[in-house]
Structure 1
Amino acid sequence: MARFIEDHMTDTTDRYRAPALDKGLDILELLAGIEGGLTQSEIAKALGRSPNEFYRMLDRLARRGYVTRVDGDRYALTLKMFGLAQFHAPTRRLASLATPLLRELSQRTRQANQLVVFDRGNAVVIAQQEAPGYWGISIRVGSHIGLFDTGSGHVLLAFSSPERRQMMVAENRDTGAPARDIPPALEARFDEIRARGYEAMPSAQTVGVTNISAPVLSADGEPLAAVTIPYLPLVDSEGAPSMDEAAAALVETTTALSEFGGCSSEGETFVSE
């Protein structure tokens, strides 16, 4: 923390100073390197200032969704900046890179599929492939879907670190979704999802559909995205893959995407830490 103070002291020779902006950025940069958050007094001490100087700034950052209170009086970063980056060029590259693999997956399974990322409290569809036949479940690109009642949401939560999962839930509350904690039964299900490598659950929105979802992982094991097949049994299609066969093909696809190491064809990372 002493290193942070040394590196972030106000530069008195700076010609175009913006003290309020500097103060807000100092807070964000400080919290980015702290697990578990800091109190207002701890933030002030780390930055060499009076605690009263940060009350309004912390209030504004919280209201804009950049920080959130944890454990009562501690402030921690949310994933809002991560979410803002998601819809920058790296996410478009992710969707572009995934498209041929998702197209091949739809042909192999005869099912539609979607690529889903976490963005500012929601799971958001950023790409989708139609089923090759007459029938399939389609979700519009840009649709916001639930974190707690969809296969994509379960996978994004299950494969995230406990700290990141906590921030995702906090951001979900900030979007106006009903305030809730993760039930113990769902936490236990996350263990099963990680052990199996994918989620398979009845759709909460469409009768007769089973959502099969698997993660696209970054090099450090955090989920970049989820790929979901809304599996619809095809009773009149001889030789159509079974649900287990579709799940196996899905895992092969997400493993192939993960093996790119979270990098685009230009060698740039999809998501910056």
Structure 2
Amino acid sequence: MSVQDDQDDRKYRAPALEKGLDVLELLAAQGPVLTPSQMSAELGRSVSELFRMIQVLEFRGYIELTPQGYRLTNRLFTLGLAQAPVKSLSEVALPAMRTLSELTVQSCHLVVPTEDQIVVIARIEGPGDLGYSVRLGYRRNIIDASSGLMFYGCASEQTRARLAARLTTAHGQARVSNYIAAAEQAARQGYVRRESDFVKGVTDLVAPIMGSDGILATLITPYIQRTPPVCDVDTALSHLQATAQAISAEMAAVSQA
């Protein structure tokens, strides 16, 4: 029996809803921006078939129109934050992140994995007039992100196997092998420290937040060099690791309460 046959045998079907979900999932996977024609080609549906779905999703605030096409808004992200585990993580992490930002005079971000992407769920701006940060809801492919190295390196064997298979299909064996080697190195040393590959002058510092079942999230400081330096990069990394460990300990206490 094919997948389509299995779908056709379902007791209940909602074709309109499924078209809308297809649009959302496509934008999440293929984004950041797609035109209706591109959506039509990717989904194998006509533009007229998708037109009403797109209009309703835009009206409800799930997608928005830009000069280049449609993109996801943060509405789904906001709904996801209402889930208790994520909300608890943010509530635990934010006070510690504020202290970290004051110590390092840098911004910091709380990042979680979602399938083969990473997403920023909380941030604290660096104090003062100068700083660098990314918006809430920012997504990037896990194979490209500094946090992605820690997510793979500290993941369970099952998660690593599933992610490696998915990434290999999308990016090829050679690139995934290099990614895995770098991720395993990151896990051994307990942090990531590397130059940003898309913003010059920024050094990504990443530490894992661990839970009872493995890695929960990462804490990342996009370190920018100030003149004169207020907190050097080595000290900032030490503060970052200590903060991530403190959040991990508090999350363990919350889960046992």
Is structure 2 residue 81 aligned with structure 1 residue 90? Answer: no
1:56-95 matches, within 5 Å, as 56-57=5-6, 88-95=83-90
Per-residue CA deviation, residues 221-252 of structure 1 (Å, 9 max, x unaligned), is x1100110000011134xx1111111111110
TM-score (norm 1): 0.61
1:210 matched residue in structure 2: 203
Query: 1 CA distance for matches of 2:251 and 2:89?
Result: 11
Is structure 2 residue 237 aligned with structure 1 residue 247? Answer: yes
Query: 1 CA distance for matches of 2:9 and 2:152?
Result: 27
Is the 2:109–2:122 contact (alpha carbons within 8 Å) kept by the matching residues of 1?
yes
Unaligned runs of 5+ in 2: 11-20, 26-78
Q: CA deviation at 1:265?
A: 7.8
1:198 matched residue in structure 2: 191
Query: 2 CA distance for matches of 1:251 and 1:233?
Result: 19
Is the 2:118–2:139 contact (alpha carbons within 8 Å) kept by the matching residues of 1?
yes
1:186 matched residue in structure 2: 179
Is structure 2 residue 223 aligned with structure 1 residue 231? Answer: yes
Is the 1:127–1:141 contact (alpha carbons within 8 Å) kept by the matching residues of 2?
yes
1:126 matched residue in structure 2: 121
Is the 2:193–2:206 contact (alpha carbons within 8 Å) kept by the matching residues of 1?
yes
Of 114, 132, 155, the residue aligned with 1:160 is 155
Q: Cα distance 1:252–1:58, how it changes in 2: closer, same or farther (>3 A)? A: farther
TM-score (norm 2): 0.65
Q: CA deviation at 1:157?
A: 1.3
Whichever structure has more helix as a proportion of its residues is 2
Q: CA deviation at 1:184?
A: 2.5
Amino acid paired to 2:108: N
Q: Cα distance 1:265–1:236, how it changes in 2: closer, same or farther (>3 A)? A: same
Calculate percent identity across the aligned residue pairs.
Answer: 28
Per-residue CA deviation, residues 97-131 of structure 1 (Å, 9 max, x unaligned), is 10000000001111101000011331000000100
Amino acid paired to 2:6: M
Unaligned runs of 5+ in 1: 1-51, 66-83, 268-273
Q: CA deviation at 1:256?
A: 0.7
Q: RMSD value over aligned CA atoms? A: 3.2
Is the 1:150–1:211 contact (alpha carbons within 8 Å) kept by the matching residues of 2?
no
Q: Cα distance 1:86–1:263, how it changes in 2: closer, same or farther (>3 A)? A: farther
Query: 2 CA distance for matches of 1:166 and 1:143?
Result: 25
Greater RCO structure (CA 8 Å; 6+ sep): 1
Count of residues in Structure 1 that have an aligned counterpart in Structure 2: 191
Is the 1:111–1:132 contact (alpha carbons within 8 Å) kept by the matching residues of 2?
yes
2:106 matched residue in structure 1: 111
